[in-house]
Amino acid sequence: MRFISVEVSNFRQYEGHQKIDFPESDTKNFVIVLGSNGSGKTNFLSSVVWCFYGEEGSPFMQSKNEKRQGILNEHMLESISVGKTAIVSVEVVLGEKMPEIILKRQATFKKDDEGHAIQIQKNFEIFKRGPGGMNNLPNTLIAMNNILPKEVKDFFFFDGEKLDNFFKQGTGQNIQTAVINVSQIGLLELTGNRLEAVMREVMRTSKDLSPESTSIEGEISAFEESIKTLESDITKSQKEVSGANDKVASIDKFLKEHSLPLAREMQRRRESLILQSKEIDSAILRLHKKEAGLIIKYAPLSFLCDVCNSLVYRIDKLTEEGKIPPDIKPDFLKKLLKKGKCICGNEIGKHEKELINKLYDNVSMNYGENADLWQEGRSELANSIRTINRFKEDLEDIHKSINDNNMKEKKISEDLEEIEIKLRGVDIEEIAKKEEERSMLWGAIQKQMSQLGAYEQSLQHVRGRKSIREREQKDLFEKQEKNKSLKKEVDFYDESIQLLKEVHDNIVEDVRMQTEKFTEEYFFSLIWNKSNFKKIKIDDKYTISIFNQYDAECLNTLSSGQRQILALSFMAALKKVSGFNIPVIIDTPLGRISGQPRENIAKNLPEYLKNTQVVMLVTDTEYDDEFKDKIRSRVGAEFSIMLDKDTGSSRIENGIA
Amino acid sequence: MNLIEVNKLIIEKIDSSNKDKALKEFLKEIIRFERDNYPTAPGLIQRYTNEYRRISNKFINKKGVPE
């Protein structure tokens, strides 16, 4: 499906009715909407998202609108009298040749005594083509879930510039959320949770619950409450980190593009230091993993270090006293005597021969077969001591490397602090203010990230305890004879839950693998220096890794442009995997990309999205002659957003001036 | 893989499992029940418990019976 038209009325800076009629074309599936910064491109995207879901937010488009209050056009609000009303509406028509789906959202606002717009009414309707024409669908929630579920919207409507943040912090979590959302397994999770609740409800109905079982039931309910609270805390925390990251990114952009050379230089230096710091973090993480691996493998043996050493001492002593055989094999002595030559090649003399003979008689006669056993034991003991010593040395090397990296990290922190102090001391109020804001945001992000880690750990812990208690409760329930008839039912639910979990994991794993495959395919077609990269991996913890030609992980060293290409590839992959036939809107798709990558995007993006209508909201620096030339054959229409600086209102016109 | 038909995919995955047929049929039916109502399915535990138990009654005694 494609957009047939989008009509926006009084939404933010779009005063009155503004309508775009999109032309129909099978091959020219790209639509360009050109507008300068601040003209209303992001608000056009927001208007479509608002029409679909009644909200504007997306992790990739929040920050640009945050200062604006309310969706009613400000000029319209000023022009109406107190007590009067004004309507904001957006209508989106979707279809191929003729309208198949019409989405209409309206909100009525009344101007209060203080001049604020108060929403007094809202309305949302969906019409779908049926046998008798367009029918008004009764349940808009279910209908939207079939058209494009809210969880998937961010892979269809997004801000290209904000994508850069996607791979900056909390990557694993972002990707996991994306994969789970695109899998749409909310239905499975809901069913699974309900099955568990039903199973417990059935157990609860059993007569004369034992006091122990009642107490466990209470604990499980408390765990459930904690899980709900922790999940909501995690979501809140993630939103805060994402919002703060967006703000930091825009301050960084401001500093990097500032006319003051010192600001530009300091910001560039800071970005380079942050990259180095990330590489060091990755190195420390790898070292810790290596350390953990060694400890798991060799620590139990190393606990026996003292025992092994004292054993060697005692064996040596007993050997000296002749109570156990010396450290030599009888067979070896026999061979020496037979050959008449030493292992060094020299002839064995008469005297030596006598000594060896004596030794052989002693070993073979006094100790018999035990001599070989003693020999093997000694050898094993020596090996164990060598392994323990090597383990200690390896551990020391790792600790030394971690220490070195920590020192480097400390130095980077000091340098970053110095940059912060310099920028805060700049005699330009705007810069000093921004830097102070950045410093606060950065501190808040670090605090929030550590809080997030603690929440996630607690969640895992509580889930584990809940699961143990549930098992115990089931065991108690089954022990009671009177529950025999209910046991069959409970077992049935229990097995169903297990099967549901298998299906759930299976689907998520399939989606993860498909996403990895398409992300890699798209990335290698869009990136300019292909030979520098080898492969892309999304592991089972949803961490995305990109490997360079030397097989080293290099996500943290990608430039902004490269990261944006990676994010665009990831979004295109998720869109493909989701299978929804809905157009895509990308705001500022080329913001951080220039030169060859732009050409690659112009050439390859239309290929990946060839059956999809793509609306690109661009500035004139993005839509330059070179890009225009490359994409011309795929562009079906061009529109311009014109901003009236006097009224602050925008209008949409056909064509580009 | 086409996730737009995610419900179809869920059913396919359940069918391809080597678990008992009665279990699979039970799951497919409750998923159909949830799908037809998702995301506005009844939220009160008593309401869905009744529905789940009604559906499970149809299948419990068939569990373990060879296909």
- The β-bridge relationship of strands A584-587 and A157-159 is parallel
CB-CB neighbours of A231 under 10 Å: 12
CB contact A338 to B (< 8 Å): no
pLDDT attached to residue A460? 92
Report CB contact under 8 Å: B10, A142.
no
- Condensed to tens digits (0 to 9), the pLDDT of residues A546-586 reads 898 888 878 777 877 787 788 888 888 888 887 777 899 98
Read off the pLDDT of residues A594-642 as tens digits, 9 standing for 90 and up.
777 777 778 777 877 777 899 999 988 888 888 888 888 889 999 999 9
**DSSP letter string over A128-147?**
EEETTEEEE-S-HHHHHHHH
At residue B5 the predicted structure's pLDDT band, cuts being 50, 70 and 90, is low
Determine the pLDDT at residue A508. Answer: 82
- The mean per-residue pLDDT over the stretch A634-651 comes to 90
Q: In the numeric block, which tokens belong to residue A52? A: 């679909």
Chain B partners within 8 Å of A141 (Cβ) = 39-40
pLDDT at A181: 67
Could you say which of B5, B14, B41 has the minimum Cβ distance to residue A503? B14
Structure confidence by residue, pLDDT tens digits, A303-318: 988 999 999 999 989 8
| Cβ A138 vs Cβ A126: under 8 Å | no
CA distance, residue A593 to nearest chain B CA (Å): 31
Using CA atoms, how far apart are residues A333 and A311, in angstroms rounded to an integer?
A: 26
At residue A107, does pLDDT exceed 50? yes
pLDDT of residue A67: 39
**Alpha-carbon torsion A222, A224, A225, A227, what sign?**
positive
For residue A66, what pLDDT is reported? 38
Residue of A nearest to B27 (CA): A496
Tell me which of A209 and A572 has the higher pLDDT.
A572
Residue A394 has pLDDT above 90, yes or no: yes
Residues 6+ apart with CB under 8 A from A170: A238, A241, A242, A449, A452
User: If you average pLDDT over residues A106-115, what whole number do you get?
Assistant: 92
Mutation site for B-interface testing, chosen from A144, A181, A198, A498 by largest number of B Cβ within 10 Å: A198
Which of A178-187, A236-245, A264-273, A633-642 is the most confident on average? A633-642
A220 contact B CB<8A: no
Report CB contact under 8 Å: B6, A141. no
Question: In whole angstroms, what is the distance from residue A623 CA to residue A568 CA?
Answer: 17
Query: Mutate which of A150, A484, A496 to disrupt the B interface (most B C-beta within 10 Å)?
Result: A496
The better pLDDT of the pair B58, A124 is held by A124
Tell whether pTM > 0.80.
no
Q: Nearest-CA residue of chain B relative to A581? A: B4
pLDDT at position A655 is 86
Q: Is the pLDDT of residue A277 over 90?
A: no
**pLDDT at position A59, please?**
43
> At A456, phi and psi to the nearest 5?
-65, -40
Across A112-195, where does the E strand assignment appear? 117-130, 133-136, 157-159
Integer Cα distance of A363 and A373 in angstroms:
12
Nearest CA-CA partner of A654 in A32, A157, A1: A32
Instruction: Give yes or no for a contact between A112 and A70, defined as CB atoms under 8 angstroms apart.
Output: no
For A633, which DSSP code?
G
Length of chain B: 67
DSSP state of A610: T
DSSP string, A248-308: HHHHHHHHHT-SSHHHHHHHHHHHHHHHHHHHHHHHHHHHHHHHHHHHHHHHHHHTTHHHH
Best probe of the B interface among A492, A508, A580, A611, by most B CBs < 10 A, is A492
DSSP string, A410-448: HHHHHHHHHHHHHHHT-S-HHHHHHHHHHHHHHHHHHHH
pLDDT of residue A21: 94
Whose CA is closest to A396, among A303, A287, A484, A254? A287
CB of B8 within 8 Å of a chain A CB? The answer is no
Q: What confidence score (pLDDT) does residue A174 get?
A: 61
Confidence of residue B66 (pLDDT cuts 50, 70, 90): low
Tell me the mean pLDDT in the region A184-203: 84
pLDDT digits (tens, 9 = 90+) for A9-34: 999 989 999 999 998 877 888 999 99
Alpha-carbon distance of B16 to A503, in angstroms, equals 10
Chain B residue at shortest CA distance from A188: B31
Task: Map chain B to HEC letters.
Answer: CCHHHHHHHHHHHHHHCCCCHHHHHHHHHHHHHHHHHCCCCCCCHHHHHHHHHHHHHHHHHHCCCCC
Rounded-to-integer distance, Cα A110 and Cα A485, Å: 62
Q: Quote the minimal CA–CA distance from A206 to chain B in Å.
A: 15
Q: Which of B13, B31, B53 sits opposite A507 (nearest CB)?
A: B13
Please indicate if any CB of chain B lies within 8 Å of the CB of A577: yes
Average pLDDT over residues A67-81: 80
pLDDT in tens, A123-176: 999 999 988 889 999 888 878 877 887 777 877 888 877 666 666 554 556 666
| A81 in reach of chain B (CB within 8 A) | no
Question: Side chain identity at A1, as an amino acid letter?
Answer: M
Structure confidence at residue A91 (pLDDT): 97
CA distance A555 to A533: 11
Q: What is the pLDDT of residue B42?
A: 59
Across-strand partners of B46?
A: none
**Which of A182, A187, A488 shows the shortest C-beta gap to B38?**
A187
Mutation pick from B4, B51, B55 vs chain A, by most beta carbons of A within 10 Å, is B4
| Calpha distance B7→A503 (Å, rounded) | 12
CA-CA-CA-CA dihedral for A573, A578, A580, A584, to nearest 10:
-30
Which residue from A minimizes the CA distance to B10? A503
Identify which of B34, B45, B53 has the shortest CB distance to residue A191.
B34
Asked if A142's CB is within 8 angstroms of B6's CB, the reply is no
* Nearest residue in chain A measured CA to CA from B62: A492
* pLDDT score at A239: 83
Please name the residue that has the structure tokens 């209060």.
A112
Q: Which residues of B touch A499 (CB under 8 A)?
A: 14, 17, 19, 23-24, 27
pLDDT, residue A240, reads 87
What is the predicted pLDDT for the residue at A101? 96
Residues of chain B in contact with residue A506, where contact means CB-CB under 8 angstroms, are: 13
Q: Report the percent of chain A where pLDDT is more than 70.
A: 93
Residue B38 to residue A142, Cβ atoms within 8 A: yes
- Return d(Cα A572, Cα A525) in angstroms, integer: 12
What's the whole-number mean pLDDT along residues A368-397?
A: 88
Mean pLDDT within A191-202: 88
Residue B2, pLDDT above cutoff 60: no
Residue type, A562: Q
d(CA A401, CA B35): 54
Put simply, whether A296 touches B (Cβ < 8 Å) is: no
Distance of CA A62 to the CA centre of its chain: 18
Distance from CA of A179 to the nearest CA of B (A): 11
Q: Which of residues 472-491 of A touch B (CB under 8 A)?
A: 488-489
Q: What is the mean pLDDT of chain A?
A: 85
Higher pLDDT, A332 or A496: A496
Residue A93 predicted with pLDDT over 50:
yes
> Could you write out the DSSP letters of every residue in A391-411?
HHHHHHHHHHHHHHHHHHHHH
Q: What is the mean pLDDT of residues A387-402?
A: 94
Between residues A146 and B3, the one the model is more confident about: A146
Cβ–Cβ of A499/B23 closer than 8 Å? yes
Say which residue the tokens 């290698």 belong to.
A524
Mutation target among B3, B35, B37 for the A interface, most CBs of A within 10 A: B3
What number is the average pLDDT over the span B7-19?
Answer: 85
